[in-house]
Structure 1
Amino acid sequence: MKKIEPITDPKAVKSSILLFKQGALSLEDWHVLTQGLYSKNSLLSFQNDWQVFVEYCREVNVCPLPAAVTAVRRFIEAKSTLRKASSIKRYIITVSMMHRVHGLSDPTRHREVRFTLNKLYQEKADEADQATAFHYHHLQSLHSKLCTSDRLKDIRDLLIWTLCFECMLKRSELAAIQFEDIIKTEYGFTLQISDTSMALSPEASALIELWFEMTAITDGPLLRRINKHQQLGDAPMDHSSIYRVFRRAAEELGVQGTLTFSGQSPRVGASQDLSDSGLTIKEIQQQGRWKSPAMPAQYVGNKQARDEAMDKFKRKLDKD
């Protein structure tokens, strides 16, 4: 965390606190608050994380700034069932920064909060290793069941499962896909993620065609929220929405009592399926766009390769 000087003028502090209590603020507001020390992506993270905390505080009718120790502790407990430890850690970093910048006592430093966080980290240790694998046969079963549906939600969710598995997408990558990232070619469609262009299968291309036909979207987010009346919204999918889509996959497959899928599950399952088909850890790493072979090695059960890769990656970071 970069050193941001606290606001010292009492009037400016009061004004800023009133502003940030609202939650929904522009990137320019965050740029000013953080004194221009952070990139746009970092500001987007702060903006999203603070909004999550403010919305929780509104739900339970407590003040977000300054926040009480109990409110922060209960926030962690509430989000621990839906979020990964890394996401919750990021939330707490943002909450801490907001209090320090405004010269307020930092509730995240209290022993109750630290104890709750440490307990959470222990419970979620090696969370990725524990993620249930979502395999190709799971995707095939869901496709057979839902591909002829005329319900918007069925086609959207099937498209999500398909893209996540075929392209080994992270939740953040999935949520960020825009209409223009889907490119039609003479062979079907490709998906552009950062600098990588991935050809989609005929099944995925057919779902894209159907999705465009049903929604008539021509710009903006590819995957969006759908209300209970089957009406498509403008807002993109968030992490909670994606979590619910993968929880639904287990329900549709009739395995909700034994398997719990998460947004990480397709990357785990695809890694294992690719390994079973003969691909090397290095090839799986490239296909999944990992910086290090450590994670795909862990997913396919190669602990020695994972540990060696992790040590090598850490040494590289130290040199950098």
Structure 2
Amino acid sequence: MHNHAKIDWVSQFQRLEGAYATSTMRGYYSDVQIFETWCHEQALTPFPATVETVCTFLEAQGQVVAPSTVKRRLYGIRKVHRLLDMPDPTLHEDVNLAMRKVRRLGPNRPKQAKGMTRDYLDKFLKVQPDTPWGLRNKAMLSLGYDLLTRRSELVALRTEDISWRRDGTLQVLIRRSKTDQYGNGRIAFTSYRSAKLLEDWLAYRGMHIAPLFCPIYHGKAINRELTDMVVRRLIRESAKKAGFDRSIALAFSGHSMRVGAAQDLLSAGHDTAAIMRAGGWKSVDVLARYLEYAEFNVWA
């Protein structure tokens, strides 16, 4: 007989708020909900789960999602058991073997976002409307490209993080990133175009709002942060407006500004160390994936 009493794991997860990035928390919630639903469909108990239940779930997920997603779901299951102070089934050797099977099911190569290189950026800027939303979107696209930001870094920028330089460009403090969870930050610089586009946006928005980029409601700027999903939607919708095929538009993601700018830097002759400094990369392997297609362009 299985115990199907509903465990309130959601309230326990709230203890993690502020300790992890918003995108990480969103992933945890989604992954644990998927596991819980799957268990109920299979008439299995999710919390505490048995080693056999976890293994079966992982192997089933390996048939339909990427190995990296399966691994993330395993972390979610592990986290919720620890928060609930229940025996952790995920450290058993059988679970490790199940993950090895998942990785061998198919290619473990991460899907690469299409780079928003300078050519794409120019086209995306041209199709923005002559509205407050257009002012904001142009500044976001141009600044995100110049700063090689992740989408979470872009929406986390604050007005106080921006300072104007004598030459009319900007110095920007990027306070926190996926690889800098304690917020030591990095300094980055922009083009004159980005500075002008941001100046236009701020002239409309006003200086009283804390987030650098904020929602607009009925033509009025609202004093709160955008979600990082807005960035991905902006890039994809810009690609469609610029006349690109839907399949091309969907290849772009919130990471595309970072990928495209890195590819352009390589094409311009900058070495790997300089690009890593510019984008705050810690791993050469990760950067190498971004630069693959740029290398083909260089030597073509």
Identify whether the pair has TM-score above 0.5, normalized to the shorter chain.
yes
Cα 1:24–1:180 change in 2 (3 A) is: farther
Q: Which position in structure 2 is the counterpart of 1:246?
A: 235
Q: Which position in structure 1 is the counterpart of 2:281?
A: 290
Query: Would you say how many aligned residue pairs link Structure 1 and Structure 2?
Result: 262
User: Which amino acid in the other structure matches residue 208 of structure 2?
Assistant: T
Higher relative contact order (CA 8 A, sep 6+): 2
Cα 1:46–1:208 change in 2 (3 A) is: closer
Instruction: After superposition, give the CA deviation of every residue in 1:222-245 in whole Å (9 maximum; x if it has no partner).
Output: 223456x55544442334332222
- Aligned-partner Cα distance in 2 for 1:230–1:56: 38
- Aligned-partner Cα distance in 2 for 1:46–1:242: 17
User: Which amino acid in the other structure matches residue 251 of structure 1?
Assistant: K
User: Which amino acid in the other structure matches residue 175 of structure 1?
Assistant: V
- Aligned-partner Cα distance in 2 for 1:177–1:87: 28
Instruction: After superposition, give the CA deviation of every residue in 1:29-88 in whole Å (9 maximum; x if it has no partner).
Output: 449xxxxxxxx644877655445568889xxxx9xx859989x88xx79x96xxx97577
Contact 1:180/1:219 (8 A) holds in 2: no
Contact 2:263/2:293 (8 A) holds in 1: no
- Aligned-partner Cα distance in 1 for 2:147–2:124: 17
Equivalent runs, 1:210-225 vs 2, <5 Å: 210-225=200-215
Q: Shift in Å at residue 188 of structure 1?
A: 3.6
User: Which amino acid in the other structure matches residue 149 of structure 1?
Assistant: D
Instruction: Give RMSD over aligned pairs.
Output: 4.5
Give SS of 1:236's match. coil
Cα 1:217–1:279 change in 2 (3 A) is: same
Give SS of 1:166's match. helix
Contact 1:242/1:263 (8 A) holds in 2: yes
User: Which amino acid in the other structure matches residue 193 of structure 1?
Assistant: I
- Aligned-partner Cα distance in 2 for 1:91–1:45: 14
Q: Shift in Å at residue 136 of structure 1?
A: 0.2
In structure 2, stretches of 5+ residues that fail to align are: 41-45, 176-184, 296-300
Q: 1:274 aligns with which of 244, 265, 275?
A: 265
Cα 1:203–1:171 change in 2 (3 A) is: same
Provide TM-score, normalisation by structure 1.
Answer: 0.62
Cα 1:287–1:46 change in 2 (3 A) is: closer
- Aligned-partner Cα distance in 2 for 1:286–1:230: 38
Contact 2:132/2:204 (8 A) holds in 1: no
Instruction: After superposition, give the CA deviation of every residue in 1:111-140 in whole Å (9 maximum; x if it has no partner).
Output: 9xx68x93799466232xx32121101111
Q: Which position in structure 2 is the counterpart of 1:197?
A: 187
User: Which amino acid in the other structure matches residue 160 of structure 2?
Assistant: E
Q: Quick check: 1:262 aligned with 2:253?
A: yes
- Percent identity of equivalent pairs: 22
